[in-house]
């Protein structure tokens, strides 16, 4: 009887055990970084080639944190779009930095969808990148196209501004136009006086 009860209790405990969901393998934009690549701080050290293999492994991306891998990814994206080796602050470089951060935030939110703080940071970075891309598209279209191609960014045009016409909006608009016209009438004598003074000075200069 005791064995039967213990078996029953064991089965009940197994039944009541919470089911652990298997995490899906989410692809990362850092997967293309080789594990043997050295960290950013040790890549250009002269004596790095003479150290032991164990030390190299400790200084490589195999033992690196997420933050150090993101630094390497930012450096790679910046190298694709920078204008010169000394370019560290152009619009293209800022877009590359924001792109790496946005992709990191997206992967983090896929694993932790309730992280509102990082979601807010991601949306702020997206808005900032959208403004920079909009400026590049307006001023230097060839650079804009090259930046989107190199960074694999799909830029969508913002929707045209539309506003629902209501009776209140029409009344407000008519009132604003009327106020503007009255202000222009009040400023008309002053503008006329300045124009006559300018004409008199120009006439005196010609004489």
Mean pLDDT score of the chain: 81
Phi and psi at residue 38, in whole multiples of 5°?
A: -80, 160
Residue 169 falls inside a structural domain: yes
Q: What percent of the chain has pLDDT over 90?
A: 44
Nearest-10 crossing angle of helices 141-151, 66-81: 140
Residue 184 falls inside a structural domain: yes
Same domain, 48 and 133: yes
- Domain enclosing residue 67, as ranges: 40-151
160 vs 122, which has greater pLDDT?
122
**Into how many domains does the chain fold?**
2
Residue 6 falls inside a structural domain: no
Same domain, 187 and 112: no
Residue 190 falls inside a structural domain: yes
CATH number at residue 50: 1.10.287.10
Q: Please write down the HEC assignment for all residues of 92-115.
A: HHHHHHHHHHHHHHHHHHHHCCCC
pLDDT in tens, 134-158: 999 999 999 999 999 999 999 888 7
pTM passes above 0.85: no
Residue 189 falls inside a structural domain: yes
Same domain, 68 and 139: yes
Q: How confident is the model at residue 20 (pLDDT cuts 50, 70, 90)?
A: low
Q: What is the largest CA-CA distance in the chain?
A: 128
Cα separation, 129 vs 99, in Å, equals 8
Closest CA to 94 of 125, 71, 138: 125
Residue 4 has pLDDT above 70, yes or no: no
Q: How confident is the model at residue 61 (pLDDT cuts 50, 70, 90)?
A: confident
Residue 29 falls inside a structural domain: no
Residue 187 falls inside a structural domain: yes
82 vs 157, which has greater pLDDT?
82
Same domain, 145 and 170: no
Q: How confident is the model at residue 24 (pLDDT cuts 50, 70, 90)?
A: low
Cα separation, 78 vs 33, in Å, equals 15
Same domain, 124 and 198: no
Residue 56 has pLDDT above 60, yes or no: yes
């Amino acid at each position: 009887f005791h064995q039967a009860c213990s078996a029953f209790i064991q089965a009940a405990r197994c039944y009541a055990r919470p089911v652990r969901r298997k995490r899906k393998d989410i692809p990362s934009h850092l997967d293309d970084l080789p594990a043997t690549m050295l960290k950013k701080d040790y890549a250009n050290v002269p004596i790095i080639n003479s150290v032991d293999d164990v030390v190299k492994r400790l200084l490589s991306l195999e033992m690196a944190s997420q933050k150090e891998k993101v630094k390497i990814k930012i450096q790679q994206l910046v190298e694709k779009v920078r204008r010169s080796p000394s370019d560290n602050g152009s619009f293209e470089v800022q877009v590359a930095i924001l792109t790496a951060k946005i992709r990191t935030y997206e992967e983090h939110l896929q694993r932790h969808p309730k992280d509102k703080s990082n979601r807010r940071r991601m949306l702020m970075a997206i808005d900032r990148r959208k403004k920079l891309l909009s400026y590049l598209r307006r001023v230097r279209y060839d650079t804009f196209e090259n930046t989107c191609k190199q960074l694999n960014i799909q830029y969508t045009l913002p929707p045209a501004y539309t506003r629902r016409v209501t009776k209140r909006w029409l009344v407000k608009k008519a009132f604003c136009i009327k106020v503007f016209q009255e202000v222009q009438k009040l400023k008309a004598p002053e503008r006329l006086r300045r124009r006559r003074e300018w004409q008199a000075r120009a006439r005196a200069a010609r004489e």
